[in-house]
Structure 1
Amino acid sequence: MVKFSETVEAQICRIHAVSLIGIQGKSMDEEKELFSRLNDRVEEIEAKKSTNCLLVSGREPTPFVAVEVSDTANVPEGMVAVTIPEGEYVKFKFNKEHVGLFWANVCTDENQAKYKLDLSKPRFELFTPDMPTDLIEWYLPVR
């Protein structure tokens, strides 16, 4: 049996506040549809810093897919602006084949204590063109 600690690489990093504009969903089942909708409308977002996408979730598992922006003044109709707060995060990097194992274990009391996770704050996954498609990077906030 594969162990959680053997499948993830964990690193503490400091993240500056990140302003985002994107599309809010209602359930994690919509994730692929939300990425498709964002991709279709990304050119409407005037102040985007790049086309790197983020999948953000918070205390409630409702997905928000977005791109980083320099300004949230002009939010296209049907989209919303969200800010990821500045702070320390644990960057968990692992192979996509272990995503179920990751989520089954990262939220246990033991791992929340070990990594000092604060699951009341937003957490996010980053998608960049240069990232191998079999890798996942999730950023979870630290207390």
Structure 2
Amino acid sequence: MTPRIEKLNEKKLIGTPLRMSLSQNRTGELWGSFMPRKREIENRLTNEMISLQLYQPSHFINFDPENEFEKWAAVEVSDLENVPSGMEAFNLTGGLYAVFEYKGSSSDTGIFQYIFGTWLPHSDYDLDDRPHFEVLGAKYKNNDPTSEEEIWIPIRSKNV
């Protein structure tokens, strides 16, 4: 699976963050609390949802399923003026990303093993210390083998 390399412009997001680890995965709780309130966000740009992860710089160097990170359930918005109570604003800075078109269940971790264990080490890129995210569009179906999503991995050229 070969990704497309894309330069992302800054995005404004509104959503809900939650701290978790892979061993204490709270993704269901996060999305379960966000989805009923999504319609409260008035200035959405699309119907797509963003699942975003903020990792510590050493997260993948000293990988441990107990390492905590912050995960967001969010949508892209035109501005950050009207943030509903209990939600937060997030500025996703731009930069270079490897974008993987993934088809399969969101519970299958094999795609991430391929990205970090096979593709990245053999590519012309290193992992960059910026947010990772998935774009969940119209073809996304949680935990369904026919589900489709885009996986955005922050990268930088090895030659820099």
Same-fold status (TM-score > 0.5): yes
Q: 1:87·1:141 contact (CA, 8 Å) conserved in 2?
A: yes
User: How many pairs does the alignment contain?
Assistant: 136
Give the C-alpha shift of residue 69 in structure 1. Answer: 0.4
Q: 1:112·1:118 contact (CA, 8 Å) conserved in 2?
A: no
Structure 1 gaps, min length 5: 1-7
Task: State the Cα RMSD in Å.
Answer: 2.4
Alignment correspondent of 2:111: 102
Give the C-alpha shift of residue 73 in structure 1. Answer: 1.9
Distance 1:128 1:92, change over 3 A: same
Q: Secondary structure at the match of 2:123?
A: helix
Distance 1:134 1:71, change over 3 A: same
Q: 1:12·1:90 contact (CA, 8 Å) conserved in 2?
A: yes
Q: 2:139·2:149 contact (CA, 8 Å) conserved in 1?
A: no
Alignment correspondent of 1:87: 95
Runs in 1 of length 4+ with deviation above 6 angstroms? none
Distance 1:115 1:10, change over 3 A: farther
Give the C-alpha shift of residue 113 in structure 1. Answer: 5.9
Alignment correspondent of 1:140: 153
Q: Deviations over 1:93-113 (max 9, x none)?
A: 233259422222322487246
Q: Deviations over 1:60-116 (max 9, x none)?
A: 432101000011122112111112211221101233259422222322487246151
Tell me if 1:40 matches 2:36: yes
Structure 2 gaps, min length 5: 57-68
Identity, in percent, stands at: 24
Alignment correspondent of 1:24: 17
Alignment correspondent of 1:10: 3
Q: Partners in 2 of 1:42 and 1:82 — Cα distance?
A: 15
Give the C-alpha shift of residue 13 in structure 1. Answer: 1.3
Q: Secondary structure at the match of 1:42?
A: helix
Q: Partners in 2 of 1:119 and 1:59 — Cα distance?
A: 11
Alignment correspondent of 1:73: 81
**Residue type of the partner of 1:58?**
L
Alignment correspondent of 1:3: none
